[in-house]
Structure 1
Amino acid sequence: MRGHRAERGMATAELAVVIPAVLVVLALCLAGLGLAADQVRCADAARVAARAASRGDAVGEARDAAARVAPEGSRIDIDVGGGEVVVEVTAPARKLLFGGPAARSRAAADLEPGAAPAGR
């Protein structure tokens, strides 16, 4: 009986240690999923803008098309030159327990014959 009394409350103490650890792991997993979703959206936005600019749409129109797909607050850089369009989309880093990495993607496309995007 004495050994049993000494262990009284151990489950509560273990639970008090485990719950915060589980919550931290859950928060990190959710942040990782959010970063993955942002990465996919950046890749889609870069491809959309590169495709639009390569077929001769104005750079502003291509940027607007990318902005509809990209995560909010993303920076969209479009460079046209040398018969090629290069688009880089960078999403802001998600705020969590620490400064996480930013999602970033780049896409390039050759200009179609006779197409020259107008306006920057």
Structure 2
Amino acid sequence: MARAARSPFGGERDGGYVTAEAATAIPVLLIFGVALLWGLMAAMAQIQCVDAARAGARAAARQEPDHAAIRAAEQAAPKGARVVVRREGDLVRVTVEAHAPGPRALTLDLEAEAVALAEESVGPS
């Protein structure tokens, strides 16, 4: 019958199992941490796109020129975002498109759109 080796400190030795488990667990935890960080960055970029579309729609609804509405949206948008302002009757529609930060293989296309009623169409009743 085999017996476990005793440690000089009074306990039984584990034969290196803890070291092997740590060697496999640490890379998995690192990959999970990087994936979590990337997901948070992508979520923050999506929120920036939503905020940018709203800012652009508010500016365009106040009858500011299109270039001013685009500038307002670009200031709130992630770097490299594309902003499009369209007028459809009494409505102003602003679309913001961007790429999520990260390696090219993990890039997501993000898009947000906001619609506002132009102030000129709202008159005294």
TM-score class, shorter-chain normalisation, is: 0.7 to 0.9
Confirm whether residue 48 of structure 1 aligns to residue 49 of structure 2. Answer: no
Percent identity over the alignment is 36
Deviation of residue 97 (structure 1)?
Answer: 8.3
Alignment of 1:69-108 (within 5 A): 69-96=76-103, 98-108=105-115
The 4+ residue runs of structure 1 with deviation greater than 6 A are: none
Compared CA separation, residues 86 and 13, structure 1 to 2 (3 A): same
Query: Which residue of structure 2 aligns with residue 3 of structure 1?
Result: 4
Question: 1:39 is paired with a residue of what secondary structure?
Answer: helix
Aligned twin of 1:27: 34
SS at structure 2 position matched to 1:90? strand
Q: 1:54, 1:109 within 8 Å by CA — same for their partners in 2? A: yes
Deviation, 1:91, is: 1.6
Which structure 2 segments of 5+ residues have no match? 7-12
Gaps of 5+ in 1: 116-120
- Higher relative contact order (CA closer than 8 Å, sequence separation 6+): 1
Amino acid at match of 1:94: P
The TM-score, its normalising length taken from structure 2, stands at 0.81
